Amino acid sequence: MALLESGEMYLETIYVLSLELNNVRAIDIGEYMGFSKPSVSRAMGLLIKDGYITRDDEGYIKLTKSGEKIAKRIYERHTVLTQLLIGIGVDEKTAAEDACRVEHYISEKTFNAIKAHIKQHS
């Protein structure tokens, strides 16, 4: 099943939070993303059903291998695109917001070309 943009955003958030916290809970995800408990709960249920995350008896959420692979890909896109936009003069806040939109739609081919261009010119 193809993952929607919202699912990718949740996986990226879980990944980012897991870098900062020992254990990630649904409440942490909701606070980070500014989403309600019911919205987060529904999304976690779908991500569990599709095999992207697990939730243990204490409510701690972990990425599965497939979930982590997607989360890392989206996070890399976010960071590279943000830095590219800042590098061409976009302010940090706008660059991060625009990168967040683009990261879900840019093709692998174009993203790899951007990475190669940055590497060549840095």
Domain map of the chain by residue range? 5-69, 72-120
pLDDT of res. 5: 81
Q: Which residues of the chain have pLDDT under 70?
A: 1-2
The amino acid at residue 21 is: L
pLDDT of res. 3: 73
In eight-state DSSP terms, residue 35 is -
What is the rounded CA–CA span in Å between residue 108 and residue 93? 24
Q: Which segments of 1-122 are extended strands (E)?
A: 53-55, 61-63
Structure tokens at 54: 């697990």
The distance of Cα 53 from the centroid of its chain, to the nearest Å, equals: 13
Assigned CATH topology for domain 72-120: Diphtheria Toxin Repressor; domain 2 (1.10.60)
Among the four given CATH numbers 1.10.150.120, 3.30.70.120, 2.60.40.10, 1.10.10.10, the one describing domain 5-69 = 1.10.10.10
Q: What is the pTM of this model?
A: 0.89
pLDDT of res. 2: 58
pLDDT of res. 122: 75
